[in-house]
Amino acid sequence: MKQGSIGVTTENIFPVIKKFLYSDHEIFLRELVANAVDATQKIKALADSGEFKGELGNLTIHIEADSDAKTLKIIDNGLGMTEEEVDKYINQIAFSSAGEFLEKYKDQLSSIIGHFGLGFYSAFMVSKKVEIDTLSWKEGAEAVSWTCDGNPEYEMGKGSRTTRGTTITLYLDDEEAEFAQRGKVEQLLRKYCKFMPVAIAFGKKQEWKDGKYVDTEEDNIINDVEPLWTKNPKDIKDEDYLKFYNYLYPGSEEPLFYIHLNVDYPFHLTGILYFPKIKDRIDVHTDKIQLYCNQMFVTDSVKNIVPEFLTLLHGVIDSPDIPLNVSRSYLQSDANVKKISGYITKKVADRLEDIFKNDREQFEKKWDNLKLFIEYGMLTDEKFCERAMKFFLLKNCDDKFFPIEDYTKAIETLQKDKDGRLVYLYATDRTEQYRHIEAAKNKGYDVLLMDCPLDPHFVGLLENKLENSNFARVDSDIIDNLIRKEDREKPKLSDNETDELSIIFNKVMPEGSHYLVNADNLGENGEPVAITQSEFMRRYRDMASIGGGMNFYGELPETYNITVNLENPLVKKMLEEKQERCGNELADLDSRIAESEKAEKARKEAEKANAQSSTDEDKEADKAAENVTELRGRRKDILEKFAEEDTLLHQIAGLALLSNGMLKGKALADFIRNSYEVVGKAFTK
Ligand code: ADP
Ligand code: MG
Give the up-direction half-sphere exposure of residue 39: CA atoms within 13 A in the CB hemisphere: 29
Cα 118 to ligand 2 centroid, rounded to whole Å: 8
Ligand 1 atom 7: residue of nearest CA: 119
CATH level 2 (architecture), domain 2-221: 2-Layer Sandwich (3.30)
Q: Is the pLDDT of residue 6 over 60?
A: no
Q: Please compute the mean of the pLDDT values over residues 358-367 and round it to a whole number.
A: 95
Cα 94 to ligand 1 centroid, rounded to whole Å: 8
Model pLDDT, residue 306: 85
Q: What is the crossing angle of helices 647-659 and 495-508, to 10°?
A: 70
Using 50, 70 and 90 to split pLDDT, how confident is the model at 193?
Answer: very high
Model pLDDT, residue 307: 86
For the segment 23-65, what is each residue's pLDDT rounded down to a tens digit?
A: 567 888 998 999 999 999 999 999 999 999 999 999 999 999 9
- Nearest ligand to the CA of 122 is 1
Distance CA 250, CA 256 (A): 16
Lowest-pLDDT range, 80-89, 214-223, 324-333? 324-333
Using 50, 70 and 90 to split pLDDT, how confident is the model at 111?
Answer: very low
Lowest-pLDDT range, 12-26, 477-491, 575-589? 12-26
Model pLDDT, residue 285: 63
For the segment 436-453, what is each residue's pLDDT rounded down to a tens digit?
A: 999 999 999 999 999 988
Q: Find all residues with CB under 8 Å of 155, minimum gap 6, and list them.
A: 1, 2, 3, 146, 147, 148
User: What is the pTM for the complete model shown?
Assistant: 0.79
Higher pLDDT, 599 or 196: 196
Q: Which atom of ligand 1 is nearest to the CA of 168?
A: 23
Strand order in the sheet with 314-318: 257-263, 269-275, 314-318, 288-293, 296-299
Model pLDDT, residue 14: 61
Q: Which of 248, 287, 293 is nearest to 270 (CA)?
A: 293
Model pLDDT, residue 397: 97
Lowest-pLDDT range, 21-30, 61-70, 280-289, 428-437? 280-289
Ligand 1 atom 21: residue of nearest CA: 35
What SS3 class is residue 81?
coil
One-letter amino acid identity for 219? D
Distance CA 351, CA 256 (A): 12
Q: Which atom of ligand 1 is nearest to the CA of 78?
A: 24
Q: Which atom of ligand 1 is nearest to the CA of 74?
A: 23
Strand order in the sheet with 469-473: 447-449, 422-427, 469-473
DSSP labels, 576-595: HHHHHHHHHHHHHHHHHHHH
**Are 318 and 229 contacting, i.e. CB atoms less than 8 angstroms apart?**
yes
Tell me, which fold does domain 228-365 have in CATH? Answer: Ribosomal Protein S5; domain 2 (3.30.230)
| Arithmetic mean of pLDDT over the chain | 87
Model pLDDT, residue 486: 81
Distance CA 417, CA 421 (A): 5
Hey, which of 17, 100, 120, 138 would you mutate to test ligand 1's pocket, going by the most ligand atoms within 8 Å of its Cβ? 120
Highest mean pLDDT among 115-129, 311-325, 434-448, 584-598: 434-448
Cα 119 to ligand 2 centroid, rounded to whole Å: 4
Distance CA 103, CA 114 (A): 17
**Are 160 and 131 contacting, i.e. CB atoms less than 8 angstroms apart?**
no
Q: Please compute the mean of the pLDDT values over residues 601-621 and round it to a whole number.
A: 70
Ligand 1 atom 12: residue of nearest CA: 89
Model pLDDT, residue 10: 43
Q: Is the pLDDT of residue 325 over 60?
A: no
Model pLDDT, residue 575: 95
Cα 467 to ligand 2 centroid, rounded to whole Å: 57
Q: Which of 180, 215, 33, 201 is nearest to 119 (CA)?
A: 33
H or E element in which residue 80 lies: none
Where does CATH 3.30.565.10 sit in the chain? 2-221
Model pLDDT, residue 613: 52
Model pLDDT, residue 636: 95
- Nearest ligand to the CA of 90 is 1
Ligand 1 atom 16: residue of nearest CA: 89
Q: Is the pLDDT of residue 331 over 70?
A: no
Q: Is the pLDDT of residue 328 over 80?
A: no
Hey, which of 35, 73, 200 would you mutate to test ligand 1's pocket, going by the most ligand atoms within 8 Å of its Cβ? 35
Cα 90 to ligand 1 centroid, rounded to whole Å: 7
Q: Is the pLDDT of residue 19 over 60?
A: no
Cα 36 to ligand 2 centroid, rounded to whole Å: 8
Percentage, residues of the chain above pLDDT 90: 60
Q: Please compute the mean of the pLDDT values over residues 402-424 and round it to a whole number.
A: 95
Q: What is the CA radius of gyration of the chain?
A: 40
285: alpha, beta or left? (left if phi > 0; alpha if psi -120 to 50): left
Q: Find all residues with CB under 8 Å of 146, minimum gap 6, and list them.
A: 86, 90, 131, 132, 134, 154, 155, 156
Q: Is the pLDDT of residue 326 over 50?
A: no
Model pLDDT, residue 660: 86
Q: Please compute the mean of the pLDDT values over residues 306-320 and round it to a whole number.
A: 90
Model pLDDT, residue 659: 87
Model pLDDT, residue 113: 47
Lowest-pLDDT range, 315-329, 564-578, 622-636? 315-329
Hey, which of 89, 97, 125 would you mutate to test ligand 1's pocket, going by the most ligand atoms within 8 Å of its Cβ? 89
Size (the chain), residues:
685
Model pLDDT, residue 352: 96
Ligand 1 atom 14: residue of nearest CA: 89
Pick the CATH number of 392-482 from 3.30.390.50, 3.40.50.11260, 3.30.460.80, 3.40.50.880: 3.40.50.11260
Cα 89 to ligand 1 centroid, rounded to whole Å: 7
Ligand 1 atom 20: residue of nearest CA: 35
Q: Which of 585, 484, 475 is nearest to 534 (CA)?
A: 475
Q: Which of 323, 295, 299, 301 is nearest to 231 (CA)?
A: 295
Q: Is the pLDDT of residue 7 over 70?
A: no
Model pLDDT, residue 259: 95
Q: Please compute the mean of the pLDDT values over residues 606-610 and round it to a whole number.
A: 79
Q: Please compute the mean of the pLDDT values over residues 646-665 and round it to a whole number.
A: 92
Ligand 1 atom 11: residue of nearest CA: 89
Cα 32 to ligand 1 centroid, rounded to whole Å: 8
Distance CA 31, CA 13 (A): 19
If one counts every other C-beta atom within 10 angstroms of the C-beta of residue 424, the result is: 23
Cα 71 to ligand 2 centroid, rounded to whole Å: 20
Q: Please compute the mean of the pLDDT values over residues 556-576 and round it to a whole number.
A: 92
Question: Is cis: bond before 266, omega within 30 of 0?
Answer: yes
Residue-wise burial string across 147-158, b where 16 or more C-beta atoms lie within 10 A, e elsewhere: bbeeebebebee
Cα 652 to ligand 1 centroid, rounded to whole Å: 85
- Nearest ligand to the CA of 118 is 1
Q: Please compute the mean of the pLDDT values over residues 197-215 and round it to a whole number.
A: 91
Hey, which of 29, 32, 38 would you mutate to test ligand 1's pocket, going by the most ligand atoms within 8 Å of its Cβ? 38
Cα 164 to ligand 1 centroid, rounded to whole Å: 15
What is the CB < 6 Å shell around ligand 1? 31, 35-36, 39, 76, 78-79, 81, 89-90, 94, 119-121, 166
Model pLDDT, residue 538: 81
For the segment 368-399, what is each residue's pLDDT rounded down to a tens digit?
A: 999 999 999 999 999 999 999 999 999 999 99
Q: Is the pLDDT of residue 114 over 60?
A: no
Lowest-pLDDT range, 21-30, 354-363, 414-423? 21-30
Distance CA 292, CA 269 (A): 10
- Ligand 2 is an ion; residues with CB less than 5 A from it: 35, 119
Highest mean pLDDT among 233-247, 299-313, 326-340: 233-247
